[in-house]
A and B are shown apart, each in its own frame.
Chain A
Amino acid sequence: MARNRPAETKPLTEADAIRLAQKGDAAAFEHLYGLHSRRVYALCLRMVANPADAEDLAQEAFLQLFRKIATFRGESAFSTWLHRMTVNVVLMRLRKKTLPAVSLEETMDPDDENSGPKRDVGAPDLRLSGAVDRVNIERCIEQLPPGYKTVFVLHDVQGYEHNEIAGIMECSVGNSKSQLHKARTRLREYLQEELRSQARQARQDQQDQPAAKAVTKSNE
């Protein structure tokens, strides 16, 4: 159990908690927060990679949700509605941080030609199997454009299906699949570049070592 979970409330179904929250019941809000805060915070953290910003965004998402809870009519699952709001809060914040000309459309489908990583011409592609660890995949996910990052995190990290992602992102299933594929392709490029960069550094370190030994010897 998370040590920082809010105080336990009497067992409520989510539907009951929503109804009570619509009347302003504090325990109901706390219950809904307890049900969803970990996934929401995880999503925000993956999107901005900065705990302070993630906390800010998660709070904003819940605040917007609770302000609007009276309008929730059950057309979609509550969690879908919440995640949709979270994604929108995050993307709006990211949109604001970039140039004013960047539209939300571009965060969903960035220009592939301009934002790919540089590649060593002629260098063979490195296989990722066995070479991808948590540190470098997290670093590479951080670099993804917001639209790709969102779909990748929702699908491959948080395990949502494409029809759920379509509901959250308010796009088509086809679009979700397309975005995920592009995200994985981009991530693959980043990881390969990361591995190449590590390999280059390792080679450089090896080359420097004999020189260092020679200097040490000559000083003795």
Chain B
Amino acid sequence: MRTKLNSCITIPAAWLSFCLLAGSPALLAAQSADQSFAPSLRVERHFTVAHRPVVTIQNAANGRVEVKSWKNAEVVIKANRVSDRVGVEMEQADSRIALTATLAEKSSRPGDGETSFEITVPEETDLEIHTTNMGTIYIEQVYGDMTLESRAGDVHLKEVSGYIIVKTMGGSLLCMQCAGKLNFTSVSGGAQFLQPQLSSLSASSTSGNLLYDGDFLRTGIYTLKSGMGLVEVRFSDSDSFDLRAITTTGAVDNQAAAFLKPDSHGLKHLSSRFAHSLTGSVNAGLAQVNLSTFSGTIRIRKRD
């Protein structure tokens, strides 16, 4: 509706009124949206590194931490679905990159505080990862020294090599085609070592099951120890190892008796009156395999 005043003023005034009237519900809706959910963000940072970097991650947020490698001399960190509850800090000191994710305050919204990280690193990188929540740590094709600690989440390693320390409370370890030396400890988490090329392994759990299904390298030392869980090793015709299996109150299930000979080095093993034990050698006894449980079962199987 026009007035008899200047048309330039009248139309805009009406239009403005219309806009105000039409727009206010939208404005009100937008304002309340800010209050009802936190915005979803993505943060990406690039760090140039000169030589084998050390990447440390302290993650208090839920969510997966995934580390993969590439051939560039660069570390790239992508944090996905960061909410305003999660504080993410990244810092570089020469070749040391530190990522810290903290939870700012309590929230009752499900999924809030969930932040996943994708980190791409040079093939040769040292890693120190500590997670205090449920998220999984996943590492693929990285070579270096690693210390991985998870409170409740699992750890998955694929084609990883180096000196690897894994410590969990309840999380389990899945280790596929890993090489180098590995140390695993857990309370209730189990571990599976599939197609490994490990020259040294020490794995222990209070109640988790431990499985080693792969080759025993000729100079390797393998120690698997579980309090109450099952300890199982599977070997093949070409393996050569000395075996010592000992359990306090559990059982030894030797499904490969035909392949186990008396110790090839002529060493006398003093048997303990407190434990059930089995010793012997497969082929020339070049590697050392030590299996131990308190009350769990020890199983020795030959792969078909």
Q: Do chains A and B touch in the complex (CB under 8 A)?
A: yes
**Smallest Cβ distance from B182 to chain A, in angstroms?**
12
* Binding stretch for chain B, among A1-9, A100-108, A194-202: A100-108
Q: Which residues on the A side are within 8 Å of B126 (C-beta)?
A: 64, 67
Which of B145, B218, B219, B220 has the most chain A CB atoms closer than 10 A to its own CB?
A: B219
**Smallest Cβ distance from B57 to chain A, in angstroms?**
15
**Complex Cα distance A174/B286, Å?**
9
Q: Which residue of the partner chain A has the closest CB to B215?
A: A105
Q: Which residues on the A side are within 8 Å of B130 (C-beta)?
A: none
Q: Which residues on the A side are within 8 Å of B221 (C-beta)?
A: 170-172
Number of A-B residue pairs, CB cutoff 8 Å, is 37
Partner of A105, one of B165, B199, B288: B199
**Complex Cα distance A68/B128, Å?**
10
**Complex Cα distance A174/B54, Å?**
36
Q: Please determine whether B265 and A171 come into contact, CB atoms closer than 8 angstroms.
A: no
Q: Please determine whether A109 and B218 come into contact, CB atoms closer than 8 angstroms.
A: yes
Q: Please determine whether B219 and A64 come into contact, CB atoms closer than 8 angstroms.
A: no
Partner of A88, one of B163, B197, B220: B163
Interface residue? B87 (CB, 8 A): no
Q: Please determine whether B180 and A67 come into contact, CB atoms closer than 8 angstroms.
A: no
Q: Which residue of the partner chain A has the closest CB to B56?
A: A67
**Smallest Cβ distance from B164 to chain A, in angstroms?**
12
Residues facing B in A34-92 (CB within 8 A) are 64, 67-68, 71, 88
**Smallest Cβ distance from A215 to chain B, in angstroms?**
58
Interface residue? A175 (CB, 8 A): yes
Q: Which residues on the B side are within 8 Å of A108 (C-beta)?
A: 199, 218-219
B interface, over-half SS: strand
Say yes or no: A64-B145 contact (C-beta < 8 A), given A103-B179, A109-B219.
yes
Q: Please determine whether B217 and A105 come into contact, CB atoms closer than 8 angstroms.
A: yes
Say yes or no: A103-B197 contact (C-beta < 8 A), given A170-B221, A172-B221.
yes
Count, chain A residues at interface, CB 8 A? 15
**Smallest Cβ distance from B269 to chain A, in angstroms?**
14
Interface residue? B147 (CB, 8 A): yes
Partner of B180, one of A64, A71, A104, A172: A104
Q: Which residue of the partner chain B has the closest CB to A88?
A: B163
Interface residue? B64 (CB, 8 A): no
**Complex Cα distance A171/B218, Å?**
10
Q: Which residues on the A side are within 8 Å of B265 (C-beta)?
A: 174
Partner of B199, one of A71, A104, A172, A174: A104
**Complex Cα distance A68/B147, Å?**
9
**Complex Cα distance A171/B163, Å?**
15
**Smallest Cβ distance from B183 to chain A, in angstroms?**
10
**Smallest Cβ distance from B185 to chain A, in angstroms?**
12
* Cβ proximity bits B136-157 to A, threshold 8 Å, 1 near / 0 not: 0000000001010000000000
Interface residue? B181 (CB, 8 A): yes
Q: Which residues on the A side are within 8 Å of B288 (C-beta)?
A: 172
Q: Which residues on the B side are within 8 Å of A67 (C-beta)?
A: 54, 126
**Complex Cα distance A108/B200, Å?**
13
Residues facing B in A169-198 (CB within 8 A) are 170-172, 174-175
Q: Please determine whether A105 and B200 come into contact, CB atoms closer than 8 angstroms.
A: no
Q: Which residues on the A side are within 8 Å of B181 (C-beta)?
A: 88, 170
Q: Which residues on the B side are within 8 Å of A64 (C-beta)?
A: 126, 145
Q: Which residue of the partner chain B has the closest CB to A67?
A: B54
**Complex Cα distance A175/B287, Å?**
9
Sample of 5 further A-B pairs with CB below 8 A, known A105-B219, A170-B181: A103-B197, A104-B179, A105-B218, A109-B219, A172-B221
The 10 A-B pairs with the shortest beta carbon distances in the complex, nearest first, are A108-B219, A105-B217, A170-B200, A171-B219, A175-B219, A104-B199, A172-B288, A109-B218, A105-B218, A109-B219
Q: List 21 A-B contacts (CB under 8 A).
A: A64-B126, A64-B145, A67-B54, A67-B126, A68-B147, A71-B147, A88-B163, A88-B181, A103-B197, A103-B217, A104-B180, A105-B199, A105-B219, A105-B220, A108-B218, A108-B219, A109-B219, A170-B221, A171-B219, A171-B221, A174-B265
Residues of A within 8 A of B (CB): 64, 67-68, 71, 88, 103-105, 108-109, 170-172, 174-175
